[in-house]
Structure 1
């Protein structure tokens, strides 16, 4: 089994949940969540305020919109020590879970946030609902570390990457063992960089 993203969609915004472990398998009972909360009614009706940095060089995203596991090429998965992805449907759409090749308790979920039509700006517009919100860049693309519960010291880190002005991709790291368990956000960053490179290659 794999840990699942649980999405609460209110007024067109996302709260993506992830899980803890139970008897060495995945469950969906952890309170850790990543993503934006509910935007204001004005934002929901009139569109995003465009508060996030613009994506200067939009990427072609049709591949990951139809198959989230195509976000990382086989070569990039190998570089990162990840196995083949497992496709699954979440409330946000099609997602992909990848496990560390040497430890199934270390996993990464990649989900294009298709429900949010204003990309990273929808995440920015609801930053008040997050326990941490740290803008950054990933491979030259705007991004933000964000989650409604700060569990980074427990091996969990949420990262949103704006690949176009209309689409953000959620990278959710959940590491129980190894260096990533104490520093999960650098893992998310590496995955994001590998995703950008994969999408650039087409």
Structure 2
């Protein structure tokens, strides 16, 4: 009787040891969770250099690239008090010049479409090219207003991340008291309205 009890005790001990081994082996056989992968930005959200804002809803400006005098309708020109546009001789079709009515030709507006994005302007500003630099938006489209080469006011509006429209307001006499940037901020939304009507 005593031997049977001892034998039963050993049987229980052996069974417990076998069970413990199975548990350990089972734990060793589990596949560890995979390490976290590298964090990547979703497609289309890669930041542009120099803090350049991206254009959320790109516009196709192909039809205007060599026909920049189509940027303003006759009704818009009347409202803005601009003459009929004439192609700039240096860039036929690619740049259009308007005279401001009542200014005796002293005030001019130039409009040009370019296959370069706003990033080019931000790069130039980062290099210290401009004294005046004002990022802004026109009807939801990112833009910058800065001083031009001839002390005029130059607005650049992003139509996509790779295309822009440039608008200059020039005082031929370069008088410091003449507001050249006020008119630019009224012309830019009109140009955008013309482009959006063609989409």
TM superposition score normalised by structure 2: 0.65
How many angstroms apart in 1 are the aligned matches of 2:89 and 2:58? 25
Runs ≥4 residues deviating over 6 A: none
How many residue pairs end up in the alignment?
Answer: 146
Within-5 A mapping of 1:2-151: 49=49, 51-90=51-90, 94-103=94-103, 104-114=105-115, 116=116, 119-127=117-125, 128-147=128-147, 151=151
How many angstroms apart in 2 are the aligned matches of 1:58 and 1:51? 18
Where in structure 1 are there 5+ consecutive unaligned residues?
A: 1-47
1:129 aligned counterpart, secondary structure: coil
Where in structure 2 are there 5+ consecutive unaligned residues?
A: 1-47
2:195 aligned counterpart, secondary structure: helix
Report 1 or 2 for greater relative contact order, CA contacts < 8 Å, sequence distance ≥ 6.
Answer: 1
User: Structure 1 or 2: larger strand share?
Assistant: 1
How many angstroms apart in 1 are the aligned matches of 2:109 and 2:145? 15
> For the Cα contact (< 8 Å) 2:114–2:166, is it kept in 1?
yes
How many angstroms apart in 2 are the aligned matches of 1:166 and 1:89? 25
Distance change >3 Å, CA 134–CA 197, structure 1 → 2: same
TM superposition score normalised by structure 1: 0.65
User: Structure 1 or 2: larger helix share?
Assistant: 2
How many angstroms apart in 1 are the aligned matches of 2:132 and 2:106? 24
How many angstroms apart in 1 are the aligned matches of 2:70 and 2:164? 15
2:60 aligned counterpart, secondary structure: coil
How many angstroms apart in 2 are the aligned matches of 1:185 and 1:113? 20
Deviations along 1:25-67, one digit per CA (max 9) or x if unpaired, are xxxxxxxxxxxxxxxxxxxxxxx72731111111120121121
* Residue in 1 that maps onto 2:165: 169
Q: 1:113 deviation in Å?
A: 2.4
Deviations along 1:132-184, one digit per CA (max 9) or x if unpaired, are 21111112110001236693xxxx2111111111111111101369xx96221
How many angstroms apart in 1 are the aligned matches of 2:92 and 2:54? 23
Deviations along 1:72-97, one digit per CA (max 9) or x if unpaired, are 11111111011110112546981000
> For the Cα contact (< 8 Å) 1:130–1:149, is it kept in 2?
no
Computing the radius of gyration over CA atoms, which structure comes out larger, 1 or 2?
2
Distance change >3 Å, CA 167–CA 57, structure 1 → 2: same
* Residue in 1 that maps onto 2:155: 159
